[in-house]
């Protein structure tokens, strides 16, 4: 059959002619496609793009809601240099990220390997590990506040039963960030386990069987076949978790409200307190825009280090 000369087809095209095509700068635009994309574009512009543009504008103003914004130029950005709390909250955020990112990736990998091998109770493990992700962070945080409470928390009751001293997990300067990091890891591990499990199941079984026939041990198979084949999934997980760690807020606000003494406050919780408790919206918008730029920088570094990760 001659496709080019078939009725209803344009020469050199595999697609039939459409009366619904519009011509714009020499290119065909399908009206039906515009109808499908239109609602999304409307929501994107009104709910995403417009607030971002407005937020950038607010960052150059002095605004406290009750009065009209007053243009102050770069004043809010220069305030960052003199604000001692900015350095403190960034240090807290980076400390938490250094615990959460590697912890989440490593534990997710271990659970994915266990479930993928279909060992005993693997289905039960998969269900219980993923279950926390199905629960809102508000519920998760309240559960862990109950567990980690100093006097009547379950964990300290168990420690007392073993003859060990009680620990102020959420009130101690030394323990508050690790405690929130553990909660964050517990909440996110299941989601990333599913991503890694999908990657493991896409690895051709023939590669692993051939390596074992050549005498490769489980460790050699993991380092030379499994890990390289999981590179795209791992890069995705690391990128998502770095961005999520920079934006961590819910568990901090609900579990400690930034305490004790601001030692668990993150950049997003500081933005929240600046904008919605002190009503300094211009400065809060400036901090938000700097956080956005920081996220872009981390993403750019990831791209330069890993490239497109073979996607």
Q: Whose CA is closest to 251, among 237, 239, 269, 238?
A: 269
3-state DSSP of 219-283: HHHHHHHHHHHCHHHHHHHHHHHHHHHHCCCHHHHHHCCCCCCCCCCCHHHHHHHHHHCCCCHHH
Q: Token pair for residue 196?
A: 């890694």
pLDDT exceeds cutoff 80 at 147: yes
Q: Whose CA is closest to 177, among 242, 108, 259, 269?
A: 259
pLDDT given for residue 20 in this prediction: 52
pLDDT over 70, % of the chain: 89
Q: What tens digit of pLDDT does each residue of 221-232 get?
A: 889 999 999 998
pLDDT exceeds cutoff 90 at 120: no
pLDDT exceeds cutoff 90 at 93: yes
Q: Token pair for residue 265?
A: 């406050």
How many Å apart are CA 181 and CA 144, to the nearest integer?
12
Residue tagged 């996607």 (tokens) = 311
Element (H, E) at 99: helix 84-116
Residues near 48 by Cβ (< 8 Å), separated by ≥ 6? Answer: none
pLDDT exceeds cutoff 60 at 17: no
Q: Whose CA is closest to 183, among 139, 120, 240, 119?
A: 139
The mean per-residue pLDDT over the stretch 125-134 comes to: 88
pLDDT given for residue 2 in this prediction: 47
On average, the pLDDT of the chain sits at: 86
Q: What tens digit of pLDDT does each residue of 164-194 get?
A: 998 999 999 999 999 999 999 999 999 999 9
pLDDT exceeds cutoff 50 at 253: yes
CATH class of the 80-306 domain in this structure: mainly alpha
Per-domain boundaries in the chain? 80-306
List the single range of 60-74, 112-126, 167-181, 295-309 with lowest mean pLDDT: 295-309
Distance spanning both ends of the chain, measured CA to CA: 37
Highest mean pLDDT: which range of 280-284, 296-300, 302-306: 280-284
Element (H, E) at 62: strand 61-62
* Confidence band of 14 (pLDDT split at 50, 70, 90): very low
pLDDT exceeds cutoff 60 at 113: yes
Long-range contacts formed by 139-143: CB under 8 A, 24+ apart:
140/183, 140/186, 140/187, 140/251, 141/183, 141/250, 141/251, 141/254, 141/255, 142/254
* Confidence band of 308 (pLDDT split at 50, 70, 90): low
CA dihedral 38, 42, 45, 50 (to 10 degrees): 160
Q: Token pair for residue 16?
A: 């039939």
Distances (CA, A) of 48 to 53, 176, 208: 9, 34, 46
């Amino acid at each position: 059959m001659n496709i080019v000369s078939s009725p209803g087809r344009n020469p050199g095209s595999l697609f039939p002619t459409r009366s619904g095509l519009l011509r714009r700068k020499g290119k065909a635009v399908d009206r039906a496609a515009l109808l499908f994309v239109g609602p999304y574009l409307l929501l994107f512009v009104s709910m995403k793009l417009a607030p971002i543009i407005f937020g950038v504008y607010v960052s150059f103003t002095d605004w406290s809601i009750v009065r009209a914004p007053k243009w102050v130029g770069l004043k809010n950005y220069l305030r960052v240099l003199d604000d001692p709390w900015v350095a403190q909250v960034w240090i807290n955020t980076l400390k938490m990220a250094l615990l959460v990112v590697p912890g989440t990736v490593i534990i997710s990998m271990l659970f994915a390997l266990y479930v993928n091998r279909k060992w005993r109770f693997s289905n039960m493990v998969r269900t219980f590990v993923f279950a926390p992700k199905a629960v809102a962070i508000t519920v998760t945080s309240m559960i862990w506040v109950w567990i980690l409470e100093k006097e009547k928390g379950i964990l300290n009751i168990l420690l007392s039963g073993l003859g060990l001293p009680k620990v102020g997990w959420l009130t101690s300067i030394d323990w508050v960030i690790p405690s929130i990091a553990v909660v964050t890891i517990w909440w996110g591990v299941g989601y990333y386990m599913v991503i890694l499990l999908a990657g493991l199941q896409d690895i051709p079984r023939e590669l692993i069987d051939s390596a074992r026939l050549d005498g490769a041990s489980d460790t050699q198979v993991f380092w030379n076949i499994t890990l390289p084949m999981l590179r795209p999934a791992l890069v995705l997980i690391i990128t998502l978790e770095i961005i999520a760690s920079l934006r961590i807020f819910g568990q901090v606000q609900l579990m400690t409200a930034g305490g004790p003494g601001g030692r668990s406050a993150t950049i997003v919780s500081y933005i929240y307190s600046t904008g919605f408790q002190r009503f300094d919206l211009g400065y809060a918008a400036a901090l938000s825009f700097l956080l956005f730029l920081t996220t872009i920088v981390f993403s750019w570094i990831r791209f330069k280090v890993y490239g497109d990760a073979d996607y």
